[in-house]
């Protein structure tokens, strides 16, 4: 049982993350807060908090995944409701932070939507943000409040280490953006590393240009922060197989899996895809190749540390 020495703690869940929130509450031996998030007949969000939160340390768990705008608006209105109900401190626990990829102007007259979302959360009244594997770590600088960006790689590493790491394995980064993540995993397991050099002629389209490293005769473990349309991971897997790899396993933190992702994964050379449960998978996306690993224990410990004013930095070690 969480030692409630700092006043009352209450955990609530938006509609996008109910299963994860319940798992976190189970880890902390706390009840899930009573709250209804529904829709008025015209589609507007309706929030009704069924218990007092006055003076409480409130944690709202909600991934802003698809339907992104709906889940984001729900989160903003929940935060506003908590603020107006006199919550003592409000922490938005956003396992998957939508709009994080729109963090700069790629072309003239582009918006910086990630900055707008950061401003909206702060205006709504949030005091702290707890998230995981932001697409760009610099996004933390968009906020004027504390942002804890947990890492999914140690959870994935622990999962794979329980089954044993074969000597012929190599860690593969599917693009230059995931090099640091792949290098950390390769260092942890004392394994070699390869990088897929690619280019994007247009959004959600990837072309493999070159493979840096020797994958011939190796079992490849590809790691990325997210799998969206699965084009990058599937083409990368095919490329390393064409260059002599014997097997390819993919893993990621966020299983966005939009558009043709499921069909691509099913028809790909990938033998397995390991994902974390930052995004709740609907039944239509649960295929045999996909294995889900929970991060409830990590978020539970982070919430306990935030609540008891202990350093969260220990979770990065």
Task: Give the pLDDT of residue 205.
Answer: 59
For position 200, what pLDDT does the model report? 61
User: If we measure between CA atoms, which residue out of 290, 135, 138, 140 comes closest to residue 225?
Assistant: 135
> In the structure encoding, which two tokens stand for residue 46, read together?
């309706």
Q: And the tokens for 86?
A: 């006199």
H helix or E strand, kind and range, residue 261: helix 261-267
Contact 82, 37 (CB under 8 A): no
198 three-state secondary structure: strand
Rg of the chain in Å (alpha carbons): 20
Check residue 163 and give its pLDDT. Answer: 84
First to last CA, the chain: 25
Query: Do the annotations mark residue 231 as ligand-binding?
Result: yes
Whether the pLDDT of residue 267 is over 80: the answer is yes
| Whole-number Cα distances in Å, 291 to 103, 160, 265, 312 | 30, 12, 12, 28
Does the annotation flag 213 for ligand binding?
no
Residue 230 marked ligand-binding: yes
Residue 214 assigned ligand-binding role: no
Least confident of 61-75, 217-231, 267-281, 303-317: 303-317
Q: How confident is the model at residue 4, as a pLDDT?
A: 60
Annotation-wise, does 80 bind a ligand? no
Q: Residue 137: pLDDT band by 50, 70, 90 thresholds? A: confident
Q: How many CB atoms lie within 10 A of CB 239?
A: 23
Is 109 labeled as ligand-binding? Answer: no
CB environment 132-171: b (16+ within 10 A), e (fewer): bbbbbeebbebbeeebbbbbbbbbbbeebeeeeeeeebbb
The reply to whether 85 sits in an annotated binding site is: no
- Say if residue 264's pLDDT is above 80: yes
**13-45 per-position pLDDT tens digit:** 999 999 999 999 999 999 999 999 999 999 999
d(CA 226, CA 200): 16
Does the annotation list 277 as a binding residue?
no
HSE at residue 72, side-chain half, CA atoms within 13 A, is 19
Q: What is the distance between the alpha carbons of residues 317 and 245, in angstroms, rounded to a whole number? A: 32
DSSP count for the chain of H helices, then E strands:
8, 14
CA proximity to 15, closest of 288, 282, 269:
282
- Spatial CA neighbour of 70 closest among 45, 91, 35, 103: 45
Enzyme catalytic residues = 198
């Amino acid at each position: 049982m969480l030692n409630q020495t700092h006043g009352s703690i209450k955990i609530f869940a938006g509609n996008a993350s109910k299963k994860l929130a319940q798992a976190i509450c189970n880890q902390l031996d706390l009840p899930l807060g009573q709250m209804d998030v529904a829709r008025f007949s015209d589609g507007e969000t309706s929030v009704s908090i069924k218990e007092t939160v006055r003076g409480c340390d409130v944690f709202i768990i909600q991934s802003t995944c698809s339907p992104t705008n709906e889940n984001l608006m729900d989160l903003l209105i929940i935060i506003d409701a908590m603020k107006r109900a006199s919550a003592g401190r409000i922490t938005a626990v956003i396992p998957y932070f939508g709009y994080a990829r729109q963090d700069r102007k790629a072309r003239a007259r582009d918006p910086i939507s990630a900055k707008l979302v950061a401003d909206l959360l702060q205006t709504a009244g949030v005091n702290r943000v707890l998230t995981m594997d932001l697409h760009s770590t610099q996004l933390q600088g968009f906020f004027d409040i504390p942002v804890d960006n947990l890492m999914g790689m140690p959870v994935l590493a622990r999962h794979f280490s329980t089954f044993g790491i074969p000597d012929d394995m190599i860690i593969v980064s599917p693009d230059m953006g995931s090099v640091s993540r792949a290098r950390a995993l390769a260092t942890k397991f004392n394994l070699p590393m390869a990088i897929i050099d690619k280019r994007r002629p247009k959004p959600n389209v990837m072309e493999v240009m070159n493979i840096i490293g020797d994958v011939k005769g190796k079992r490849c473990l590809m790691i990325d922060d997210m799998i969206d349309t699965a084009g990058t991971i599937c083409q990368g897997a095919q490329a390393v197989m064409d260059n002599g790899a014997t097997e390819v396993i993919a893993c990621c933190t966020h299983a966005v899996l939009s558009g043709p992702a499921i069909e691509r994964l099913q028809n790909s050379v990938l033998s397995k895809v390991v994902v974390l449960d930052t995004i709740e998978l609907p039944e239509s996306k649960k295929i045999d190749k996909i294995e889900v690993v929970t991060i409830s224990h990590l978020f539970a410990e982070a919430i306990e540390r935030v609540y008891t004013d202990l350093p969260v930095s220990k979770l990065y070690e």
